[in-house]
Structure 1
């Protein structure tokens, strides 16, 4: 991994680090890129849009010629809905692989769209496996598509997309990937893992700011999507066709966000692209997890399933531990963490992405240790039920 000690600077103007899965801590250069106004129809901004689309396609490596990139205004969820509505025919049937909030959100989206679907619900924190997908597809020949979440940030689990893809295409079906929190840091090259489309967002691993998402899809799927969407503003085909014809977005684009994203894309390339970014995040995770475990904290997931994006920790059983106070103490020390989403036991999450390196993560651990002391917590071991739950998940 490249040396980041001189590149990663403290947040601007005393801001706390955002230890969340996006929005996240951005560089000063990315922030400064938003200080100029841009005309949405101007040639300069059209050139910026083209450069952005080209750079995103370059991340696919070999095989990118079959794909095109379509940015879509709005949050990541807007882009996910746009992908599902545009690439799932009205008479399709979709298998949704759910193991957390974002798989369930895709299910909810399909319910709104009136698209037929079935769900493999693994609970909140177990990965869907290739053999399970293969069996469901064999049992139900009406299924035409599979939807998978690349990194489920409810738990921090990195789902096995490669084996899911193999099972999907071995059965003659198509795969759509929600890579919202993984694209840009974890390889997803179509020459290695087959899929029809993926969706991600500006404010995740590429370290831009919120304001738009993007769909990267096979041109054949984009062409077939004409007239399929339920929505004027979320029609991926219409956006793609208009953008390729005019160089412009159909409706007012988030100009300042695009300018910031371009700066972030250039920094991403300078860091070594997907491999360089992923290596830093992996180092962040390893340093932070090792330090937190030394304090007595336990991770929800075994090492095999830990993503380099965000990590879930069980709350300590110590009666002096109170998450709300822990959160505030961490914030006072310059670190904003993330509440957990477990239903059986209390937990919290610590993000590994954004403008942070291993030196920052060591300070995160120091802050956690100091916060425990201030609370009078002498033991960060979780309750027995938490470890019992993890044992079930690992079974």
Structure 2
């Protein structure tokens, strides 16, 4: 006797399931408050033995005698008190119920494309677990989305693909009426450089440097000759908001912009952009955010957080392929940059935006196949949901940090302001330790790890993003324990 169940899909009108420790049915209801805990969502397919079916009929007949009617979910709960009904949960099941137009829109734009993509996979690709901070481990459906018929990117059909990508990337963080996404072929740094070189006029920009990627912003500003001031902060601790405000107050010129990294990829530090956004709002400062390692994982609301420009890329939490970066901009702010004299050609943000608005094309040749992979990655992100994705990442992070602590290692950034996306770990102090040797040990087992990037600190980094779960992190920890035990034996 089996009930088919799935993870919660958030489509509305769900029937929630409560199961016991053996995954047997305890309760089922559309009202969350009627359950002690929620294990899964009812799909609507149930397999019963004939004897159990008879019990279900008997239960219904008893209630009919008292002029009561029941739905079959209630009947299953009643008979489960006498016979076990197993709840078979499939977390990755692509399905939906269609009761109304909203359900139908979700079915046609998200669920059916996922089903078709899965059906189109000829075979499973060798699975490597990338624990580096991007590119991330991808699904087979994202990989195979690149295998399409050749097409000229100037065709209307491909323009519609890019329109979809631009609109859906915007919706993850803002209202498309107020915000827009501008696409570039290139790494994430291309998007950051596009913003800094295109939107800052003669005003002063404060750049928060609390890691190598904040430092990279300073280098870009230096190359373009921008009027910038560097605010240095700890690579491990939260930004001191009072100190930052005092720093800005002491600046003799009018500060027009503030730029910072949301999640510092070198350590995992998560800066509080909402609080910094409030400070910028009070002082009428436009905030620029490098969200490369946070976008599509940590929930972001550009309007609420007062973000004017946000930079991200396809190959991290979106779980797409490397080669596409993008800027999500406040339309009203972006329109005002038209009069700023261009400092470059390829990365000029306003020109790229205006050309796309007029022609539904990029000015220069886009990475065509990578765009198809990005479209599929967006659909899969919509299917999982950003909050659910972050829950999955967070569970992997907790598994990681608990494991390395058990093994006697420590990590830099405390939990209170950790992104739970990438972790900088202090290297073992054993005299025989060598990162390259450890990297090769893991690489042979199908795992890729990454060196540290903090000056004067000997660290290595582990990211828990991409198409992985806490199970892969457990396997990594098992291998790490083997490696560390090998050092002790030498």
Q: Would you call these one fold, judging by a TM-score over 0.5?
A: yes
Counting only pairs closer than 5 Å after superposition, residues 120-131 of structure 1 correspond to structure 2 as 120-131=231-242
| Superposition CA RMSD, Å | 2.0
Give structure 1 regions of 4+ aligned residues with deviation exceeding 4 angstroms.
Answer: 1-7
Paired with 1:84 and 1:160, the residues of 2 have a C-alpha distance of 21
Aligned residue in 2 for 1:77: 189
1:97 paired with 2:208, answer yes
Q: TM-score, normalised by structure 2?
A: 0.73
> 1:222 and 1:4, CA in 2 relative to 1: closer, same or farther beyond 3 A?
farther
Counting only pairs closer than 5 Å after superposition, residues 162-181 of structure 1 correspond to structure 2 as 162-181=274-293
1:24 paired with 2:120, answer no
Paired with 2:203 and 2:444, the residues of 1 have a C-alpha distance of 51
Choose which of 226, 246, 249 in structure 2 pairs with 1:138. 249
> Structure 1 residue 41: deviation in Å?
0.9
Tell me the alpha carbon deviations over residues 52-106 of structure 1, each in whole angstroms, 9 at most, x when there is no partner: 0111111124x442111111121111111101111111x1111000111110110
Aligned residue in 1 for 2:220: 109
Paired with 1:12 and 1:329, the residues of 2 have a C-alpha distance of 24
> Structure 1 residue 305: deviation in Å?
2.2
Choose which of 45, 49, 57 in structure 1 pairs with 2:158. 45
Classify the secondary structure of the residue corresponding to 1:148. strand
Aligned residue in 2 for 1:160: 272
Classify the secondary structure of the residue corresponding to 1:342. coil
> Structure 1 residue 338: deviation in Å?
0.6
Paired with 1:155 and 1:12, the residues of 2 have a C-alpha distance of 33
Tell me the alpha carbon deviations over residues 145-203 of structure 1, each in whole angstroms, 9 at most, x when there is no partner: 10010000111111111111111221221111110111111111024211111010011
> Structure 1 residue 348: deviation in Å?
0.5
Select the structure of larger CA radius of gyration.
2
Contact 2:266 2:452 in 1 (8 A): yes
Contact 2:430 2:487 in 1 (8 A): no
Aligned residue in 2 for 1:222: 334
**Could you list the runs of 5+ residues in structure 1 that have no partner in the other structure?**
379-395
1:306 paired with 2:418, answer yes
Aligned residue in 1 for 2:454: 342
**Could you list the runs of 5+ residues in structure 2 that have no partner in the other structure?**
1-6, 9-88, 94-117
Q: For this pair of structures, how many residues does the alignment match?
A: 373
> Structure 1 residue 342: deviation in Å?
2.7
Tell me the alpha carbon deviations over residues 114-156 of structure 1, each in whole angstroms, 9 at most, x when there is no partner: 1111111124333323222211222224221100100001111
1:355 paired with 2:461, answer no
Paired with 2:489 and 2:132, the residues of 1 have a C-alpha distance of 24
1:322 paired with 2:437, answer no
Contact 2:290 2:311 in 1 (8 A): yes
> Structure 1 residue 4: deviation in Å?
7.8
1:88 paired with 2:200, answer yes
Classify the secondary structure of the residue corresponding to 1:369. helix
Paired with 2:172 and 2:277, the residues of 1 have a C-alpha distance of 19
Paired with 1:72 and 1:342, the residues of 2 have a C-alpha distance of 29
Aligned residue in 2 for 1:150: 262
> Structure 1 residue 46: deviation in Å?
0.7
Contact 2:125 2:140 in 1 (8 A): no
Counting only pairs closer than 5 Å after superposition, residues 175-190 of structure 1 correspond to structure 2 as 175-190=287-302
